[in-house]
Each structure stands twice: as C-alpha cells, then as structure tokens.
Amino acid sequence: MIAAVNGMAFGGGCEITEAVHLAVASERTSFAKPEIKLGMPPTSRQQRLPRLPAQARAGTLAHRRPVFPARAQQIGLVNMIVPHDELLPAARELRGASAAFAAPVASIITAVTAD
C-alpha cells in the first residue's frame, strides 16, 4: 500500500501512515499523536511507530509537538517529500515503479497450490 499524505495527519491519519508500505508526503503535511496530550494512549496500533527504521527518534512524534515532513522522513515515517502540487502524481509514479517488481497473481497461485 502507498499513502499520499497531505494536511494534518493526526491520530488515526498518522497511524495509517505508519501502517502502509510506502508513504509520500506533501510539503504541507504535519504528523502528531494529540491523544497523548489528552491523557489517552494511542490506539492498539501504537506498536508500529517504534518498529520504523529509526526507532530511536520515534519518540519525537509520540511526546512532542507536531512533526513536519523533513523530520518525518528522518524518522522513517515517510519515504518521500514532494511539493503539494506533485503529491498524487508522485504517489502514482511510485505505484507504477513498485508494480514492475510484483509477481503475477497466476504465479503466486501456482506456487501456493503446487505444494
């Protein structure tokens, strides 16, 4: 799954970004977990953020003010930052590039049923 993220990705929006395989963020995006400031723990998906590649910096998002695109890329939350007007074209281009490496469904089914 590829996410094209724009605007405020707070709470659930941030968690969806954590869950996808690849994420492209607009330069206008910000990420946060505001439920922490209200005394509520993040939902059950809170396990994902520390598992991102830069887990030592993951606390930035969980305990401080909003995180903006450059920092989100540093901590491994997003893969790419693009100008706002290029967000959807960049996500579509990434989808096309990723699809080139996908195995055909028939070969997956054959491999599964051959055992």
Q: Pick the catalytic residue: 15, 27, 86, 93?
A: 15
Among 47-56, 71-80, 100-109, the range of highest mean pLDDT: 71-80
> What is the average pLDDT value for the chain, to the nearest integer?
75
Closest CA to 48 of 39, 58, 63: 58
Number of domains in the chain: 1
Annotation says 18 is catalytic: no
Answer yes or no: are the C-beta atoms of 84 and 5 closer than 8 Å. Answer: no
Answer yes or no: are the C-beta atoms of 27 and 69 closer than 8 Å. Answer: yes
Q: Pick the catalytic residue: 18, 27, 35, 93?
A: 35
Annotation says 86 is catalytic: no
pLDDT value at residue 49? 55
Work out the pLDDT band at 42, boundaries 50, 70, 90.
low
Which structural domain, as residue segments, surrounds residue 105?
Answer: 2-114
pLDDT in tens, 63-89: 557 888 998 898 888 999 999 999 999
DSSP state, 67? Answer: B
Q: 0.85 cut: is pTM over it? A: no
